[in-house]
Amino acid sequence: MNFRLMSLVGLIVTMAFVSCSKSDTPSPPQPDPVTSITLTATKSIIKNDGIDKADFLVKDNLGNDVTTKCSIYQDGNKISSTSFSSTTEGSYEFTASLDNLQSNAVTIKVQATAVSFTRKVYVEDFTGSWCGWCPLMAWNLDSMRAADPRVIVAAVHDDVGNPVNDPFGTSYAESLENLVPNFQGFPTAFVNRKSTTDQFNVIKSVPKALANPANAGLQIETTLSGSSLSAKVTTGFSADYTNSTIKLAIMVVEDGLLSTQHNYYFHSGYVPPTSPLWQNSTLFNWVNDGVLRSYGTDISGEIVPSASTSINNVSYSKTVSFNLSGYNAANCRVIAILINANAGEVLNVQDVKAGENQLFD
């Protein structure tokens, strides 16, 4: 073997020792292990309106978003969402888990939404179609309501024991009259069940009552099926009434009822010649609005639980049913009043047409 051949053999042997084989390929770098997860929330305080929410985020110790891979627990109970909203006040604890890893705990507080309400005024108009002095009260109240729907009137017709005297006389009349201090007769306007006024001064008394702030409000949701009416009334408070006795009364009134009305303002000095009350001593087809038909509660109201009368509380609801047989359901309205029995006054009032809803306003 010559020298050149020996050198070639040596080179081949050397390459065999320094070349890589498939079995010699090193393993790729292993990722760092996931050893912990961290739970965070976008908010620590949310409103109790069921809309405001906190969104959850879970990251591992490597900074990866693993939220969708995790199970999230509220007070130890697994939830299906990666966000949280509620209508119930309180503090809630949340954790997350991924395989055998447990996260830190996050607390979210649900606080009451600050609420405010529109001041409205409730007027009970004690009247009768036989009463010649009464149409001016009704005329003034109707004019105020047309100008400002915050004026809500229930016309309490007293038939003086004889339906011939008033076709819309109600069995509630005497009991309601007994609620009026020193009831003097007809017409009488009982404003917010606190003060009385006559047909001449009612135009001053009602605007004065509207000027007071509103610390409570009402929401009415109704369902009408044929002559069956269901009304769900929810109460709300922007002040604390837990030390007061608060009552809720709910009724139905009917608009657009026609009657023959006695009228003592015919050619009188009490009304101008342009008034319809000037024209005749008997008013045919006199339109009666807000005629009291039925109560779904006691006329004095039913007690709202004290726990539901705290500030910013909108948790209490009462549902009542009415039979509207014999009435024109399309012309009926539900009226609800909140009464402070200690102060002897209506805190606020709400009304809505049968079959419709009126939310807090």
Cis peptide before 305 (omega within 30 of 0): no
pLDDT digits 0-9 by tens, 103-145: 999 999 887 766 789 999 999 999 999 999 999 999 999 999 9
The pLDDT-based confidence of 163 (bands split at 50, 70, 90) is confident
The pLDDT tens digits of the residues spanning 305-361 come to 999 999 888 889 999 999 999 999 999 999 999 999 999 999 999 999 999 999 999
Q: What is the pLDDT of residue 50?
A: 82
Over residues 223-237, the mean pLDDT reads: 96
Residue 29 banded pLDDT, cuts 50, 70, 90:
confident
Indicate if the pLDDT at residue 169 is higher than 90: yes
pLDDT band at residue 21 using 50, 70 and 90 as cut-offs: very low
Strands (E), 211-273: 216-225, 228-237, 246-254, 257-262
Looking at residue 5, what is its pLDDT? 44
> From CA 174, how far away is CA 293, in angstroms rounded?
14
Separation CA 23–CA 40 (nearest Å) = 47
Q: Residue 11 — pLDDT band, cuts 50, 70, 90? A: very low
Q: Where are the alpha helices (DSSP H) in the chain?
A: 3-18, 135-147, 173-177, 202-210
3-state secondary structure of 16: helix
- By the 10 Å C-beta count (0-12 exposed, 13-18 middle, 19+ buried), 102 is classed as middle
**Minimal CA–CA distance to 62: which of 85, 86, 19, 33?**
33
pLDDT tens readout for residues 90-104: 999 999 999 999 999
Please state, rounded to an integer, the average pLDDT across all residues of the chain: 91
What pLDDT is attached to residue 314? Answer: 86
pLDDT tens for each residue of 282-307:
999 999 999 999 999 999 999 999 99
Residue 162 pLDDT class (50, 70, 90 cuts): confident
* All structural domains of the chain: 37-111 (2.60.40.1080), 121-358 (2.60.40.10)
Three-class secondary structure of residue 20 per DSSP: coil
Contact by Cβ (8 Å): 253, 332: yes
Residue-level pLDDT at 22: 44
Q: Taking Cα atoms as reference points, which of 85, 96, 103, 105 lies closest to residue 45? A: 85
Q: Is the pLDDT of residue 12 over 70?
A: no
Quote the pLDDT of residue 203. 95
CA 182 → CA 190, 196, 299, 319, 355, distances in Å? 11, 9, 18, 33, 38
pLDDT value for 268? 93
**pTM of this structure:** 0.72
